[in-house]
Amino acid sequence: MANYKDALKEFFGEECLFNEPMNTHTTYRTGGPAEVYVYPQTPEQWAFVLKLAQAENIPLRVIGFGSNILVSGKGLGGITCSTKKMNRIVVDENRITAQAGAPLDKVCELACKAGLAGMEKLSGIPGSVGGAVFMNAGAYGQETADCLEYFDIIDWEGRPATLLKEDVKFAYRHVDGLPKCIILSAGFTLKPGDFTQLLAARSTVQHNRVAKQPLEFPSAGSVFKRPANDYASRLIDAAGLRGLSVGGAKVSEKHAGFIVNFNHASAQDIKTLMDQVRQKVKAQFGVELELEQILWGDFE
């Protein structure tokens, strides 16, 4: 047990960091240090770290671009694995294969430029391909699962496998039936389209995002899932919570569905504000807002 860090350092060298500040790896730009932070890239490297974590009973997490995660200020024990250095994208006729750490937006851009339709509305989502598959990220009526054909995984015991889209059930911002695994890469099948129109659609989406979202501040996008037949942002707004703040965190004045880190917010500021928003919306409208964002580590 005492030596698992030495074993990782010996195996990963410079790709293994200790006490790595998570504010540099999350779009909220807050969060304490990860005890161990590694960049596995090959299936063999993943198998090594997964098997070690299993054998030593060490908690293990995987992070893409940290654009949907709030990390506690107390940091993260155990091993945090980043996919960021696995970023190859291959376009081949109407198929795109991308490694988990490739930016989803880059895949969208290449698809549009190649005249391939089906992902243009996902433009601007600031996540990785692995994070997008795991969350079934979506926007403007398109979801990651729509054009997904298959994805390669490695399970918690270090065994690789390929899953077809039909092997799991993609739902709104989550996937049912996904085994505990790391997504290593994904294959998308797209439809032929007109690249001028696709680039125009991409540009419209990009403009809408800039116009409607508080991109000038760190955030992790929509805090809550859309409740049935409504919008979280509408309820938050109707409850008069736009601009409500805790420490350096506030409900965005531009888009009430976002919490922004406007002034060196601690992760606890953001968590406390999330709780206040949920309580007030519940008290006023009886609606239980469900978190879309994922909390890592200990909070009050």
Ligand X SMILES: Cc1cc2nc3c(=O)[nH]c(=O)nc-3n(C[C@H](O)[C@H](O)[C@H](O)COP(=O)(O)OP(=O)(O)OC[C@H]3O[C@@H](n4cnc5c(N)ncnc54)[C@H](O)[C@@H]3O)c2cc1C
In the complex with ligand X, the residue whose CB is nearer, 94 or 100, is: 100
Q: How many residues bind ligand X (CB under 6 A)?
A: 32
Q: How far is the CB of 57 from ligand X (least distance, A)?
A: 19
Catalytic residues: 173, 222, 292
The maximal CA–CA distance of the chain, rounded, in angstroms, is 58
> Is the Cβ–Cβ distance between 81 and 62 less than 8 Å?
yes
Binding flag, residue 72, ligand X (CB under 6 A): no
Nearest to 130 by CA among 88, 60, 183: 183
By CB under 6 A, what part of segment 74-133 binds ligand X? 83, 100, 125-128, 130-132
Binding flag, residue 137, ligand X (CB under 6 A): yes
* From candidates 33, 138, 187, 193, binder to ligand X by CB under 6 A: 138
> Is the Cβ–Cβ distance between 8 and 53 less than 8 Å?
no
Q: How far is the CB of 117 from ligand X (least distance, A)?
A: 18
Q: How far is the CB of 126 from ligand X (least distance, A)?
A: 5
**What is the C-alpha R_g of the chain?**
20
* From candidates 17, 50, 58, 63, binder to ligand X by CB under 6 A: 63
Binding flag, residue 142, ligand X (CB under 6 A): no
Q: Which residues of the chain form beta strands (DSSP E)?
A: 16-21, 33-38, 60-63, 69-71, 76-82, 89-92, 95-99, 116-117, 138-139, 142-143, 148-155, 160-164, 169-171, 174-176, 181-189, 191-192, 245-246, 249-251, 259-261, 294-296
Could you give the string, one character per residue 145-184, with x where binding to ligand X holds by CB under 6 A and - elsewhere?
Answer: -------------------------------------xx-
Nearest to 276 by CA among 254, 300, 297: 300
In the complex with ligand X, the residue whose CB is nearer, 6 or 253, is: 253
A 10 A CB-CB count for 194 gives: 11
* From candidates 142, 213, 252, 261, binder to ligand X by CB under 6 A: 213
C-alpha distances (whole Å) from 289 to each of 113, 118, 187, 216, 228 are: 38, 30, 33, 25, 10
Binding window for ligand X (CB under 6 A); candidates: 10-18, 158-166, 218-226, 234-242? 218-226
Site residues (CB under 6 A) for ligand X? 27, 61-69, 83, 100, 125-128, 130-132, 134-135, 137-139, 182-183, 213, 215, 219-221, 294
